Structure 1
Amino acid sequence: MRAVVQRVSRASVVVDDQIVGSIGRGFLVLLGIGPEDGEPQVKQLVDKLAYLRVFEDDAGKMNLSVLDIQGEVLVVSQFTLYADIRKGRRPSFTAAAPPSLAEPLVARFKDSIAAHGLQVSGGIFGAHMEVSLVNDGPVTILMDSDQLSR
């Protein structure tokens, strides 16, 4: 499981000219699912995300988590995080999980974040989405469940 996590002032997702998800201060999470991913990877990434201290405290230090600030999370499924660009000029996406595996894991990821008491929004799985954000900092972090288990 891979995620691009961006600390945002606000973010939204539009599908067919309709806002389907939006948040204020918190995280925009672009989430990719691999074929070997399951519940352990969901738990691992959600726990890391919920307690990741990248929000500033009163002293201006990144000491607070999204839980501490009572922030929000916008989750957008993005299979292109598993792009293989080693050959040619057109990426291969064969390393991404099939939709039958990925869609329920994206839903489980969102549910697991909500279980921490956070407000969660999302895009529509498989839809063409327009994602807008105001990156705060900017702060952008790459997370990979393979790296967390080492």
Structure 2
Amino acid sequence: MAGAVVDLSIGEVAERSGLSVHALRFYEREGLFANPVRRLSNGRRVYHEEDLEWLAVCTKLRSSGMSLTAIREYVELARQGPGNEHLRLELLRRHERQVEARIAELRETLDVMRHKVRIYEDHLARGEADQLWNPSRPPAGEAADGCERPPTGT
């Protein structure tokens, strides 16, 4: 029958969402589900497709660095229903700016890593690997790979 609500066990949700049972219990305990988790008379948790859809959003927010506090705030606003969309949008825009800043920081880090890889590839291709900085030798100024050597005693 189309549109029928199918009850899912915590194990089924864990398998389908990629989250552990422990993580699902943690999310529930922290109030991160959009809807309260329902329980059967025997105490077993019951989930539905909409819970899986929310978990997909929630895990993306978490993996993007959104704090549990901010996710909880977003959930509370959503639970309140219509009328506070501007607050939800503000929260998401604030996090969007944080993600963009993190991406810029990671791009800079990637540029440094790529530079270092090119230096090492060039040295190895020229057979000059023995001229690269070795932490067991005492530092003496500029390293062969173009980076300052770390100060002694660190």
Q: TM-score range by the shorter chain?
A: under 0.3
* TM-score, scaled to structure 1: 0.23
TM-score, scaled relative to structure 2? 0.22
**Larger radius of gyration between Structure 1 and Structure 2:** 2
Structure with the largest fraction of strand: 1
Structure with greater contact order relative to length (CA < 8 Å, sep ≥ 6): 1
Choose between structure 1 and 2: higher helix proportion.
Answer: 2
